[in-house]
Structure 1
Amino acid sequence: MNRPIEPTGQAMTNERPVVVRTSRDGDVEAMLTIYRHHIRRGIEESVDDSGTPEPEDLRDRRRNLRNHRLPHLVATCGGEVVGYAYAVLFRKRPAYRYTVKHSIYVHREHLGSGVGRRLLQELIDACAATGFRQMIGYIDTDNTASLAIHEKFGFRRVGLLPGVAYRYGRWADTVMVQRSLAAGSTEPPLISNPGR
């Protein structure tokens, strides 16, 4: 998972290659900076920020994901973290053990530079290699760039959750997207419990 992006212009940030690798504890502060920007964007300063994870919370989450063979990746450019992505179990009940949901966050200065595409491809590959069969994401309906990228990677819109989030002073809808991994639901799983 340490493959640099090919030098095609779309795979470069500031003319430097982007490398995707497994996250490390030393990446936590940079990941939190990226995350905090995304949750605060457009929200009034008086909003309580108590729900933001602390560095130790993120370190614990990384360890837990690693223990369950779930990917937690970062994209770096020139040694700096410019994005991160991870997958968690869709639900905790055993029947859902072959399905993951994912999240991707890209540094605001690197949006539109191919970092999100690179992270999504690596995340899909890692989840498929581990034995997962379905991948699900939740995307704000206003995030047309993310919806377009997911569609290019084979995700289908499978649901609409109207008015489930209140942000930017209004109610926002969320689109649920899904894609099959490997053989998907066409044949029984080979690995009895991929996330363990």
Structure 2
Amino acid sequence: MPVELRAVRAADIPAITAIYAEQIAGVNTYEYSAPSLDEMRARVSAIVDAGYPYLVAELDGVVAGYAYASAFRARAGYRWTVENSIYLATAMQGRGIGKSLLGELIAVCEQRGFLQMIAVIGDADNLASRQLHERFGFRTVGVFTGIGRKHGRWLDGVQMQRALGSGDTAPPSDENPHD
């Protein structure tokens, strides 16, 4: 059965929370403790209410992963730039679900008028994430050495960037793309 990509629903919060908790056990996020269902619900709502896309991948009726875009920075001059996040259930990795999610997230962000997408990869050794982003035209624009500490070791963070739509080749409209 093919992967179904769709907008997040309230009923997805328990699965999203469980997937994120799996990632906290590793080094894909610098959080140390898994958020509660209420905290995750609030996080998802804040992203969606701000006008950013939040997608879920479902395989055989099970939430296999999710991806969303959020503000890169709070200042107005950054409003055309988003940061992406992608998380997959460990058992669902290696099936092309991340590729489907990232491709759809890029398309939705372009439709909404965003012009740049940033990926912040918390562990420079996460080659799967780096290669996934490279497949979609992201390029490494920075490496932060020893930026985070988890599981007794310092981690290097990688920033990757990709233009969306016209990118920086044309001036944006004066409108906020996620209003």
Both structures adopt the same fold (TM-score exceeding 0.5): yes
> For 1:114-153, what per-residue CA distance to the aligned partner results, in whole angstroms no more than 9, with x for missing partners?
0111110011011111110000011121110111110110
**Match in the other structure for 2:161:** 178
- 1:48 CA displacement: 6.2
**Match in the other structure for 2:145:** 162
Moved more, 60-69 or 150-159: 60-69
**Match in the other structure for 2:133:** 150
Q: TM-score, normalised by structure 1?
A: 0.85
- Secondary structure at 1:194's aligned position in 2? coil
Deviant stretches of 4+, over 3 Å: none
1:34 aligns with 2:19: yes
One-letter code aligned to 1:148: Q
- Secondary structure at 2:137's aligned position in 1? coil
CA distance in 1, matches of 2:21, 2:48: 23
CA distance in 1, matches of 2:23, 2:46: 23
**Match in the other structure for 1:18:** 3
- 1:191 CA displacement: 5.4
CA distance in 1, matches of 2:115, 2:148: 28
What pairs up with 1:41-120 in 2 under 5 angstroms?
41=26, 49=33, 52-120=34-102
One-letter code aligned to 1:149: L
CA distance in 2, matches of 1:146, 1:86: 15
Q: How many residues align?
A: 175
**Match in the other structure for 1:4:** none
- 1:189 CA displacement: 1.0
CA distance in 2, matches of 1:113, 1:64: 30
CA distance in 2, matches of 1:48, 1:66: 24
Higher Rg: 1
- 1:192 CA displacement: 1.2
- 1:170 CA displacement: 1.1
- Quote the sequence identity (%): 43
